[in-house]
Structure 1
């Protein structure tokens, strides 16, 4: 079966606790398809600003935007997914931190005021690269029969509601990186706001039915790339009572598929 080009829905929604506290949404999610020498490549990023950081909403946006620019420069220079490495990823994280530091200095703030997590997936025609600092997770599927599996388990600290951030002194040490030399046709990425809804913490497994229910509209999207209507619907869903009754945190979710919709056999 020939897969289509990537279809995408992406959204962030403010948490009820942030609304009550007068805080902005501190999550930021972006997903795009870049034209590369190796073919169309999906670049998906989720950043979650630290709740205690005064300007982490700006930090999340700037970290994601800077990282996307670095990936684009890599491909514009003729680079490939296969050429990515932990060393390259570590360099990119350092450059992201540098950008945050410049913004902090120009604004008269501390670097820690822009603290955020960063998850990224770079998926080419036949291979993929993943990296993560902090909580939230990336889950992937190679086909309906394979189900869903996580790439990295969320990074949580020894104390409740603690994790790692790109501005942390030990960011290079806690950075997780992986090259997957295989084709990946479906991806979901999310911030920690919905972790407990879609991951089984005790068994360290993915709650597959959630993604099985969310993916069909993405597969059926008429046009390639980011579907604005689906993304708006996803944002409404993330902000709905059904979700907010179970989590009061900001929430981000990216859904991407290059699989055709599954067709049911015709009735005899």
Structure 2
């Protein structure tokens, strides 16, 4: 098997109206190492109430990506990765954010961000998350969430990598199967594609996107990304959610 994937971040109307950059960030990769195929998907959402949330999101994803890449290059199977090692990956990301905050003369909470991650290998799929946003997988029978978006103690709040008690809010799950399809998205999309009353996924949003990704040739990804960016930037979408919107899509396809 191998992976086809697409990722994008669209700056929300609320940031555009204030002439601010978006605060979401994502990192993806599909690689083959020692006859094994891997997909890495990471997304982070900088807290809208912070001054440097987007910087924190980028540092979190890039640091975590290097942590995961190191494990893959050592030849260790993902199935042998313990919960403590996953927490160590996230801790390294937090320490990198703290170092940047100290260098900038800022407090770490000014770099607050959520974090969502997937590592798919031949033998297992590893999922982890802090805060809101969501991971959705498809198995041919429908679409399912891995974790439900975690809300904070008060309305419109959540948990962040920068929190003092961040380790208490790391959710980790493993599946011995490899899904056909994987999506990760930040909270700017969750109210559009999830039903909070029934805790279910709006299949009609994901099914055509995964079909398009699966059918698109590699050189057609740019057009697909452009069309998807236009969709997420539409006025009717922004009316329902004016926050930044990050979406990662990945499909498992046979080797040609």
Normalised to the residue count of structure 2, the TM-score between the two structures is 0.94
Q: Check if 1:211 corresponds to 2:206.
A: yes
Q: Is 1:163 matched with 2:162? A: no
Which ranges in structure 1 are unaligned for 5 or more consecutive residues?
261-268
Q: Check conservation: 2:126, 2:173, Cα contact below 8 A.
A: yes
SS at match of 1:92: helix
- Name the structure 2 match of 1:253: 247
- Aligned residue pair count: 254
State the partner residue of 1:239: 233
CA distance in 2, matches of 1:236, 1:66: 30
Range with bigger deviation, 102-111 or 127-136? 102-111
TM-superposed CA distance for 1:38, in Å, is 5.7
1:152 paired to 2:147: yes
Residue number among 186, 190, 193 corresponding to 1:191 in the alignment: 186
1:44 aligns with 2:41: yes
The alignment's C-alpha RMSD in Å is: 1.6
Following superposition of structure 1 onto structure 2, how do residues 8-19 of structure 1 map, counting pairs within 5 Å?
Answer: 8-19=5-16
Matched residue, 2:58: 61
Counterpart in the other structure of 1:265: none
Query: Do 1:9 and 1:234's aligned partners in 2 also have CA atoms closer than 8 Å?
Result: no
Matches within 5 A, 1:124-163: 124-143=121-140, 146-163=141-158
More helix by share: 2
Give the 5 Å matches for 1:73-152: 73-143=70-140, 146-152=141-147
TM-aligned CA distance change 1:253 to 1:237, over 3 Å: same
1:178 to 156, 173, 179: 173
Q: Secondary structure at the match of 2:78?
A: coil
Matching residue of 1:264? none
Unmatched tracts of structure 2, length 5 or more: none
Contact 1:37 1:75 in 2 (8 A): no
Q: TM-score, normalised by structure 1?
A: 0.90
Matches of 2:174 and 2:122, distance apart in 1:
13
